[in-house]
Each structure stands twice: as C-alpha cells, then as structure tokens.
Structure 1
Amino acid sequence: MDFLMSGLAACGACVFTNPLEVVKTRMQLQGELQAPGTYQRHYRNVFHAFFTIGKVDGLAALQKGLAPALLYQFLMNGIRLGTYGLAEAKGYLHTADGNLSPVHSAAAGALAGIMGAYLGSPIYMVKTHLQAQAASEIAVGHQYKHQGMFQALTDIGQKHGLMGLWRGALGGLPRVVVGSSTQLCTFSSTKDLLSQWEIFPPQSWKVALAAAMVSGIAVVMAMTPFDVASTRLYNQPTDTHGKGLMYRGILDALLQTARTEGIWGMYKGIGASYFRLGPHTILSLFFWDQLRFLYHTYTK
C-alpha cells in the first residue's frame, strides 16, 4: 500500500508541475555546447519561456510529455518513496537510541532512488524527447519527432533493441542518487527537528509542509548540474547502433558543458528547476506523508 500511495502522491504533484518540466528541459538544452553569447536565446527566463511556448507551440504544448511524466512518477516515486517508507517503518533509519540517523536516511534515499530511476529510465528518456519537441523557430537540442509515448518506445526498441531503451540510464543515476538522498534526508531530518522543537502541534500537516519546503530548496541546489547533464544524455542524437554522438557518459557531459558554457552552464534552467522541483517536492512529499498518516490511522 505504501508503494501505491507514494505513486499516487507523485502523480498528483506531476499534473501541476509538468509545464515547468517542459520549460526546464528546453532551457537546459538551449545553447548546448555553445559558448555564451554565440547562440540565439529563445527562452530568456522561466516566464519568457512560458509565454514563448504558449504563443508559438500553443498552450497544450506546456503539457507535452504528460503521459510518460505521470507513468514515470508513478513508477519511480512509487518504488522510491514506498521503499523509503518501508525502511522508516522497520526502524532502519534510526540509531539504537531511537534518533534519526542522517547517514542511514541518505543511504536509504539514494538506494531507493536508484531502484526507481533505473526501472523508469525508458519512460524518462521518452518524456525528455517529447518535451524537447518544438516548432522549428524555437527548437533547441536534438528533435526526435515522436508521435507519442508508445510509438516512441516501440520505435526505439525496434531500432536499437532492449538496451536502447535504457540508453542513458547509468548516466541518469547520479542525478537521482544526489536528488533522492538529499530530498529524503533533509525532509526526514527537518521533520524530526520540527517535531522535537514543537513549533507546530503534534501530527500537524504544517510539519510535513515546512519540511518539504526545506527539502525542495536543498534538492534544487544539489541536483541541477546532474539534471542538466542527464537531460542532454537522454536527448542527444544516436548512431545506428543507438550510441550517443555527443557524450560518452555523465562525466563527459559535465566536463564538456563546463568547458564550453562555463560553470553557469551547469546550472541552466535552475529557475525552472526551482519552480518545478520546489512545488513538486513539497506536493509529493506532503501528499505522501498525509496519505500514509491517514492510512495508518484508519487501519489500526
């Protein structure tokens, strides 16, 4: 049941934050491996990107990739939050004296994130392809021209085999390890501290909300460079064997980006990432915490 509640909580958050994911993806691909000032900036900031996409591609384009995004969130976060929730319920995150262990919490969050992200990697890749697709006048990055999620998965599988569906999966794992461990560790630690300090009434929904807000800020700062590299790894063009033509892996993507675009290039789209990851983290963790509380309260 923890897995189902975790997946539903993440999907609920995804519906509201997917437009920001579209904006984030395009801003991360804009000016890929080009020195600053040498390319046309179709998207100057988050708000300009929203306006431009809505004007040129249509308002519906702001929800591009919603189907794979929902499926990915259900799979990835159902496994990730569900596994973490089980570890917490079994007491694996606490020391012998009953205190929350940040090390155990971070390790459990990272391991749970790896499991969910690897299994959901093909869906995430297709989501990235679909969200990057745009009219030629505002297109950035490689354009795959998929017609939908199932067509994309079938086409990639037929051309490059089963392994082609998991292209970029290993490169995407550092993003999830950093993001998941940071998110769940800071969420649990902050929630534990707030409860100890008795800032809010016991079992108040405000405790989970405040902890999720702190977690959202930490995740964006820690994960953005890996998120930029992961987006580019998934979206890069491939040869006939399904091998990427631009990057050899996550380290190569990070080094090339830093070398050609500067350190700030590794933080492209951080505004969209914050507006997206912040609310998504807050909503998903808040929904997850409240669903678990209600379930365990009424099934005692």
Structure 2
Amino acid sequence: MMDISDFIIGGTASVCATYFTNPIEVIKTRIQLQGELSARGTYVKPYKGVIGAFIVVARNEGITGLQKGLVPALYFQFIINSFRLGLYSTAVENKWMHKQNGDVSFPLGLLWGAFGGCVGTYLSSPFFMIKTQLQSQAAKAIAVGHQHKHTGTFQALRQIYKQGGIVGLWRGSTAAIPRAGLGSGVQIATFGKTKTMLRDNGWVTQPTLNSFCAGAIAGSIMSLAITPPDVITTRLYNQGVDASGKGVYYSGWTDCVVKIVRSEGLLGLYKGFWPNYLRIAPHSTLVLLFYDELLAVRDKYFR
C-alpha cells in the first residue's frame, strides 16, 4: 500500500534542505560550465576554488546572486524527492527491499532508489533545466557558459514552451535519468543499509543521530558517483539551441561525454567535484534527517 503522506513528507524535507544548499549549487554550476570545451590552461577562470567563487559572486552580484535559481530548485527538489523518498518509504513499509531473514537488501535498495530517482527526475526535468539556466546567469565580468535571458521561472517556462513546445521543456530529460538513477540508487541504498548497520551494531542508536550519520555517509558516497553525470547534465541543460530546437554544442549524452574528454580530458568530467560534494553531502544529510523527523511527527500525532 502507498501512503500519500510519505510522498508529501519526502518533498517537504527536500524543500527545507534546499534553502540551505542552493548557494553551493550556484557555485557548482558555474564551475562546471567554466572553460566549456576548452583545454586546461587556455581559458580565464573567474571561479578559482569554492571559497573564491563565493566571494566573486557576492562581489559582482550581491548576496542574492548566491540564491539564483532557488524557485525552480524548490519545485525540482519537491517533485523528485516526493517520488524518490515516497517510493523508498513505501518499499520499506511493505518489505519490498528486505531479504527473507528480515535484513535490508542493498541491491533491492539500490533498485528502488534508482527507480524513484528516475521517475522523479523525468517529471521534474523542466524545473531542473530552468534552475541550471538561471544559476548560470551572471554578471558579464564573471559569465561562463551560454547565457540565457530569463527573468524568472515562469517566464522561462513560457519562453521555452513557445520556442520548442512540450518537447522543448523536456529537452535533456533522458540524459538526466542516468544521473538520477545512479545518484539516487546509491544514496537510498546506502542510507537504509547504514542506518541498520549503525543501529544493530550499537554504534549509533539514538534515532536522530542515527539518521544524521547515515545521511552523511550516504551523501559522501553519492557525490563520488554522481559528479560525472552531473557535469554532463549541466552542460546539456544549459547549452543554447538553434532555430530547430537542437543543442548548439551537444547532440546528446554520448556526444557530450566524447567532446568533454577530447577537449578537457577525463578531469573535465569531475569539474565542480568539491562544490558538488559540499552541496550533496549536507543536502543529503538534511533531506534524510528532515524526512525521518517528519515521519516521526506524523506517526506520533496523526496516526
């Protein structure tokens, strides 16, 4: 059986976390676009390190520049995590991811996490694209990547729909699915398994601290797995399009990988790793912590 409140709580938990982590997401996006399709050492780097990037953005765009793309980020996070965590909770409650002896199965956790992530990512794809494009918009002196002329979330939705219809709104969505499946599967499976391991071995038994530690470990592992597909997704979503609606830089996922490796080397796929890690680890921790705490409140007062 599915409980709709599991889905609502999953989305709400993510929205709470996004307010704290969106600034590092802005930095991550800028660094991933910096030096696009240029060999190392041949381009100007306005963003030199995570701390330096924060200073540069704040100096050129003000503190509010660090919250660019917040509105579509909130929509994206609510949609993806309502499905991702809602399906995870449903699988746990119905023991769909347990072995016969009652232990949580890592492979089944990986499967359900990936499935929920893929469904949520596809449905929220337009907001992810707009989030990326708004976060990349910068003052001329520090602009990187293609600069879109959006003035807001819903103006961007209307403009993209006018140019490319429904297909335009979901441009790049199939490329985002591998990112979501890999990242979500690793995070959800690691979170569930780690919670059980910490509790059963008596290492961390206090519920809130158990969730916090498991979330931190899951987020750290997730950041290692997700950075290359995250770079590819950022590039595909942010590229400009020609009159026919086709990307001006990349024709798809494979083309993007090949061009990045050829021009930027393998390390090009790990651009923005540290801001990605600094975003994913706390975001994962906060989302999963908020999720468990909200579930506890629901079970205590509303059941």
Shorter chain as denominator, the TM-score bin is over 0.9
Match for residue 293 of structure 2?
290
Corresponding residue of 2:181: 177
Q: Is the 8 A contact 1:228 1:266 kept in 2?
A: yes
Which of 221, 224, 245 is 1:221 aligned to?
224
The structure 2 residue matched to 1:40, chosen from 32, 38, 44, is 44
Query: In 1, Cα distance between the equivalents of 2:178 and 2:296?
Result: 31
Q: How does 1:1-300 map to 2 (within 5 A)?
A: 1-201=5-205, 203-300=206-303
Q: Deviations over 1:196-246 (max 9, x none)?
A: 101133x52111111011001101100000000000000011111211121
Which AA in structure 1 matches 2:45? Answer: R
Q: 2:47 is paired with a residue of what secondary structure?
A: coil
CA distance in 2, matches of 1:166, 1:95: 37
Amino acid in the other structure paired with 1:172 = A
**Is the 1:191–1:208 Cα contact (8 Å) retained in structure 2?**
yes
Partner Cα distance (1:108, 1:154) in 2? 34
Paired residue type of 2:53: A
How much does 1:75 deviate? 0.9
Return structure 1 stretches of 4+ with deviation > 6 angstroms. Answer: none
Deviation at 1:114, TM superposition (A): 0.6
C-alpha displacement of 1:63: 0.3
- Once the 2 structures are TM-superposed, how far is the Cα of residue 261 of structure 1 from its aligned partner? 0.8
Deviation of the 1:257 alpha carbon: 1.0
Instruction: Select between 225-234 and 88-97 the one with higher mean Cα deviation.
Output: 88-97
State TM-score, norm by structure 1: 0.98
User: What is the rounded CA distance, in whole Å, between the counterparts of 1:211 and 1:234 in structure 2?
Assistant: 31
Q: Which secondary structure does the structure 2 equivalent of 1:241 belong to? A: coil
Cα offsets for 1:136-156 (capped at 9, x unmatched): 110000001100000000000
How far apart are residue 182 of structure 1 and its match?
0.5
Equivalent-residue separation in structure 2 for 1:94 and 1:195 (angstroms) = 16
**What is the total number of aligned residue pairs between the two structures?**
299
Q: Kindly provide the CA deviation profile for residues 110-149 of structure 1, in whole angstroms up to 9, marking residues without a partner as x.
A: 0000110000000100010000001111000000110000
What RMSD, in angstroms, separates the aligned Cα atoms of the two structures? 1.0
Structure 2 distance, partners of 1:6, 1:209, is: 16
The separation in 2 between residues aligned to 1:133 and 1:85, in whole angstroms, is: 37
Cα offsets for 1:62-106 (capped at 9, x unmatched): 000111011111111111111111111111010122111111100
The Cα of 1:269 is off from its aligned counterpart by: 0.6
**1:158-177: CA deviation from partner (whole Å, max 9, x where unpaired):** 11111100000001111101
SS in 1 for 2:148: coil
Say if 1:225 and 1:254, in contact at 8 Å, map to a contact too: no
State the alpha-carbon separation in 1 of the partners of residues 125 and 154 from structure 2.
Answer: 14
Contact 1:133–1:139 (CA<8 Å) still a contact in 2?
Answer: yes
Aligned-partner Cα distance in 2 for 1:149–1:135: 19
